[in-house]
Amino acid sequence: MRRRANWPAIGLVAGAAALLFFLDPVRLGFFPSCPFHRLTGLNCPGCGATRALHALLHGDVMAALRDNALVVGSLVWLAMQNIFRRWQGPGAAVAIRPAWLWNFLGAVVVFTVLRNMPAFAWLAPQ
């Protein structure tokens, strides 16, 4: 059986990417600020994600890594998973292993703690 494309989701992602491509989150106050950072002064795992995605859409991988390496790494991992799944052929089962989710959660916690330590300030968004 042939799988159909989820056109509403594809349109939503394409629209969000177009919006993020044309509107620079650094120069415009259009995008909301992080409430966690505003309240605590600490960086959450998502701080800098909008700027990182904007930089990626403009082809600036190094700026994206400086803003949020976790988002860039997650996108690379998701792309690799999609490629491997397609390589296995049509009808390949999508299996999300619990160990992957626990590993990702652990990576998020470690990333969050490290980016808020002075010795790892290079992980904080620029």
Kindly report the average pLDDT of the chain as a whole number.
Answer: 89
Question: Using 50, 70 and 90 to split pLDDT, how confident is the model at 3?
Answer: low
Nearest CA-CA partner of 57 in 71, 46, 47 = 71
- Between CA 89 and CA 101, with CA 95 as vertex, the angle to 5 degrees is 140
Please report which helix (H) or strand (E) contains residue 36, including its range. helix 35-40
Nearest CA-CA partner of 109 in 53, 73, 70, 63: 70
Average of pLDDT values for 24-46? 91
**pLDDT band at residue 28 under the 50/70/90 scheme:** confident
Reported pTM: 0.84
> Which amino acid does the sequence have at 70?
L
pLDDT at res. 1: 46
Cβ(120)–Cβ(47) under 8 Å? no
